[in-house]
A = this chain, B = another copy of it.
Amino acid sequence: MATGRTHRPATRSRGIPEATVARLPLYLRALTALSERSVPTVSSEELATAAGVNSAKLRKDFSYLGSYGTRGVGYDVEYLVYQISRELGLTQDWPVVIVGIGNLGAALANYGGFASRGFRVAALIDADPAMAGKPVAGIPVQHTDELEKIITDNGVSIGVIATPAGAAQQVCDRLVAAGITSILNFAPTVLSVPDGVDVRKVDLSIELQILAFHEQRKAGEEASAPEEAAGAVPPPPVAPHRARPGAPGAPGAPGADSGRQGPDGDVPAVMPA
């Protein structure tokens, strides 16, 4: 998940559910692979397996786009690729800017999946004057001062924020003021944006935390109902101020209270600004 704000209440733009939109890229990828192997048609069952979803869901998803299949046969691969691409807006070119060229920003700039889907990195922007002019992934980094001009000149409407958390909102505000209407945010912050601007976020630490939750559950089940299993509610609401108990289970590793390296606990994303 990842929509920040702007859940576009009552959106379902022209009737396509958000959940379906989120899966279209998945189908597109599977179809592209089939297309490259020159497979002419697929059944919902085959395609669903390739995309990792169940076939009823896939058929329902496609039904929102129109009736692009043939009963008794399946779907024409090339035709579906085209229809989904069009629906996603990938038949047009989308210039994007990446702000914050640290480790992550550089990795994004080098990411091959962008170009192959109609996304073109129009510019790389960083606040560090020392970075200016340096080429990253073949594109020279420009200073933040140029931000507004770059966006306007290139007609950019999609921005990627890969700055430290502290700079994110400010960068976001400038992007929006300059005309950006879609933002992909990698900084661990909640961005606030005006209506009409879409924000999606990708947060590495959140994903790991969700995995840890399930991992913990597995460990608990395995060792069948350990102490805090039953409805036993721990210490009463008297608030045990400032005192994280030492890490219980888990092998190896010393200090669980690992080096606090900055405010916010979540600190920057990974790179300078």
Q: Which residue numbers of A lie inside 8 Å of B, CB to CB?
A: 1-2, 4-5, 8, 13-14, 21-22, 24-26, 28-30, 32-33, 36, 50-52, 66-70, 76, 78-79, 82-83, 85-96, 102-104, 106-108, 110-120, 122, 154-155, 157-158, 181-184, 188, 190, 192, 196, 198, 200, 202-218, 233-234, 237, 239-242, 244-245, 247-253, 256, 258-271
Could you say which residues of chain B place their CB within 8 Å of the CB of A206?
22, 25-26
Could you say which residues of chain B place their CB within 8 Å of the CB of A244?
82, 85, 91
Cα-based distance from A86 to B122 in the complex (angstroms): 44
Question: How far, in Å, is A194 (CB) from chain B's closest CB?
Answer: 13
Cα-based distance from A120 to B211 in the complex (angstroms): 14
CB < 8 Å: which of B13, B24, B214, B261 contacts A112? B261
Cα-based distance from A266 to B51 in the complex (angstroms): 14
Cα-based distance from A266 to B192 in the complex (angstroms): 31
Whether B256 lies near A14 (C-beta < 8 A) is no
Report the copy number of this chain in the oligomer.
2
CB < 8 Å: which of B94, B211, B260, B270 contacts A212? B94
Q: Which 6 A-B pairs have the closest CB atoms?
A: A89-B216, A1-B1, A113-B205, A103-B107, A155-B251, A52-B190
Whether B265 lies near A116 (C-beta < 8 A) is yes
Which of A92, A157, A269 has most chain B Cβ within 10 Å?
A92
Cα-based distance from A2 to B2 in the complex (angstroms): 9
Question: How far, in Å, is A148 (CB) from chain B's closest CB?
Answer: 16
Question: How far, in Å, is A82 (CB) from chain B's closest CB?
Answer: 6
Whether A239 lies near B209 (C-beta < 8 A) is no
Which of A24, A69, A196, A239 has most chain B Cβ within 10 Å?
A239
26 pairs of residues in contact across A and B, judged by CB atoms under 8 Å = A1-B1, A2-B2, A21-B210, A21-B213, A25-B210, A29-B265, A33-B263, A36-B263, A36-B264, A79-B240, A82-B244, A83-B234, A88-B216, A93-B250, A104-B107, A104-B111, A111-B269, A112-B266, A113-B188, A113-B204, A113-B205, A115-B259, A118-B258, A122-B253, A158-B211, A196-B218
The chain B residue with its CB closest to the CB of A248 is B92
